[in-house]
C-alpha cells in the first residue's frame, strides 16, 4: 500500500511475486531452463531463435536473489545459453538488437553461472587487436546516435573481456581512449559531440548522451577505473532534471531508470557527497510514477507480463534506485544490482 511518497515506503512485494509468476509462464516447459522473451514464442516452440528470453530470466532471478546456486543446475543453464551461439562466428542469436549487443548480453548472463562462451568470437577477431579498438570507437556516431551506438562501443568490451579474448594491454587501450575523449563540459562521451561551447546541444538530445555514457560507466566500474569527470556528469544530470526538460517514458517497463539512476549512483560512489541530496531528490522525482505504477501492477492482477526484456530493464532499474535510496521501496530482500557483479545490460 502506498501511504505517501516522500516519507513512507512503497511495498513492491506483490509486484515481485507477479514477476516470479511471469518467469514461470515464460518457460518453454516445466523442466526447461529456456525462456521465451514473448509469450507468443511459446506456441512456436523454438528455443534457439532468441537468447534474450533466457538471458533476461537469469538477470531477473539474480536481481531478485533467486538465481539457482547448485552446480548441477548452473550447468543446465549454461548449456541452454550456449546453444544460442554460432560455432562459425561466435555470435549469439538475438532479435531486436545488433550482434554485439546480443553477444554481450548472453555472455553477461553466462557469467552469472560462472559460464563462458562455447566457441571463440571469430566475428570480432579484428577488434581483438588493441591497435584497432581506438579506430572502432572513433567510427561510432557520437553526435547523432550516442545511445544506440553505445551498445556497440560498450558491448565490444563486454564481449571480449567476458570471453577472455583480450589481455590487460587491450583493456588499457580501451580505457585510455575513454579517458582522453571524455567531455570536460558535461563529463559525458564524446568530447565535442554533446554540447557547443555556448551550452547548446550539438545534435542529439542530452538524455541520449547520458544514456549512451551510462554504458561506458559500468565498464569502468568493472575494473575500478576512475570516471574522468564525475562531478560534471552529476551537474549535467541535475541540470537536465531541474530544467524540467527530462522526458520520462510513457511505458511502465523500460531501461530508462537503470540508465538514469545508475549514472548518478556510479558518480556519487566516486565523489562521495557531491550534490548528494539533490541527486537523491532527482531520482525520487523521476521514480515516483514508475514505482507507483509497479505497486499497482502488483495488486491489480497476477497475469504474466509479456516482454521479459523490458521487464528486465525495469527490475534492474529498481535495484539501482533501492541502492541509492534505501528504504524507498519494500522488498523481502534487498535487490542485487547486476552491474555490481559484471559489465553490460
Q: DSSP string covering 139-174, please?
A: TS-TTT-HHHHHHHHTHHHHHHHHTT-S-HHHHHHH
How far apart are the C-alpha atoms of 88 and 117, rounded to whole Å? Answer: 13
By DSSP bridging, strand 329-330 and strand 10-11 are parallel
Q: By C-alpha distance, which of 10, 19, 3 is closest to 253?
A: 19
Contact between 84 and 107 under an 8 Å Cβ cutoff? The reply is: no
C-alpha cell recorded at residue 210: 547520458
Query: So what's the pLDDT on residue 7?
Result: 59
CB 317: neighbour CB atoms within 10 A? 28
Q: Domain 10-340 - what CATH class? A: mainly alpha
pTM of the entire predicted model: 0.95
Please list, in sequence order, all residues whose beta carbon lies within 8 angstroms of the beta carbon of residue 180, skipping any fewer than 6 positions away.
none
Spell out the domain ranges in the chain: 10-340
- Residue 342, CB half-sphere, CA atoms under 13 Å: how many? 25
Those residues whose C-beta lies under 8 Å from the C-beta of residue 151, and which sit 6 or more positions away, are 97, 98, 100, 101, 215
Query: d(Cα 248, Cα 241) in Å, to the nearest integer?
Result: 10
- Distance between CA atoms of 133 and 201, rounded to whole angstroms? 27
Per-residue pLDDT of the chain (345 residues; tens, 9 = 90+): 333 444 589 999 999 999 999 999 999 987 889 999 999 988 877 767 799 999 999 999 999 999 999 999 999 999 999 999 999 999 999 988 999 999 999 999 999 999 999 999 999 999 999 999 999 999 999 999 999 999 999 999 999 999 999 999 999 999 999 999 999 999 999 999 998 877 788 889 999 999 999 999 999 999 999 999 999 999 999 999 999 999 999 999 999 999 999 999 999 999 988 999 999 999 999 999 999 999 999 999 999 999 999 999 999 999 999 999 999 999 999 999 999 999 999
Amino acid at each position: 500500500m502506498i501511504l505517501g511518497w516522500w516519507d513512507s515506503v512503497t511495498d513492491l512485494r506483490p509486484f515481485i511475486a507477479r514477476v516470479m509468476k511471469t518467469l514461470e509462464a515464460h518457460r518453454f516447459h516445466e523442466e526447461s531452463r529456456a525462456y521465451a522473451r514473448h509469450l507468443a514464442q511459446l506456441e512456436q516452440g523454438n528455443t534457439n531463435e532468441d537468447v534474450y528470453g533466457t538471458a533476461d530470466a537469469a538477470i531477473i532471478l539474480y536481481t531478485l536473489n533467486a538465481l539457482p546456486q547448485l552446480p548441477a543446475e548452473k550447468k543446465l543453464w549454461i548449456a541452454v545459453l550456449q546453444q544460442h551461439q554460432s560455432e562459425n562466428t561466435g555470435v549469439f542469436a538475438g532479435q531486436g538488437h545488433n550482434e554485439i549487443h546480443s553477444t554481450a548480453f548472453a555472455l553477461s548472463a553466462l557469467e552469472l553461472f560462472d559460464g563462458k562462451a562455447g566457441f571463440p568470437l571469430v566475428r570480432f577477431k579484428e577488434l581483438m587487436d588493441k591497435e584497432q579498438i581506438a579506430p572502432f570507437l572513433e567510427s561510432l556516431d557520437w553526435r547523432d546516435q550516442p545511445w544506440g551506438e553505445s551498445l556497440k562501443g560498450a558491448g565490444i568490451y563486454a564481449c571480449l573481456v567476458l570471453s577472455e579474448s583480450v589481455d590487460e594491454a587491450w583493456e588499457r587501450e580501451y580505457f585510455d581512449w575513454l579517458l582522453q575523449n571524455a567531455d570536460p563540459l558535461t563529463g559525458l562521451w564524446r568530447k565535442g559531440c554533446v554540447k557547443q561551447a555556448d551550452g547548446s546541444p550539438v545534435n542529439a538530445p542530452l538524455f541520449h548522451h547520458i544514456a549512451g555514457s551510462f554504458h561506458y560507466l559500468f565498464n569502468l566500474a568493472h575494473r575500478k577505473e576512475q570516471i574522468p569527470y564525475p562531478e560534471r556528469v552529476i551537474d549535467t544530470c541535475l541540470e537536465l532534471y531541474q530544467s524540467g526538460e527530462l522526458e520520462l517514458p510513457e511505458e511502465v517497463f523500460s531501461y530508462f531508470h537503470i540508465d538514469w539512476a545508475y549514472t548518478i549512483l556510479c558518480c556519487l560512489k566516486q565523489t562521495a557527497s557531491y550534490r548528494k541530496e539533490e541527486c537523491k531528490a532527482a531520482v525520487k522525482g523521476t521514480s515516483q510514477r514508475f514505482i507507483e505504477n509497479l505497486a499497482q501492477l502488483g495488486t491489480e492482477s497476477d497475469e504474466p507480463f509479456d516482454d521479459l526484456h523490458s521487464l528486465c530493464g525495469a527490475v534492474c532499474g529498481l535495484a539501482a534506485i533501492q541502492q541509492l535510496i534505501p528504504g524507498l521501496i519494500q522488498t523481502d530482500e534487498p535487490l542485487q544490482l547486476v552491474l555490481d557483479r559484471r559489465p553490460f545490460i
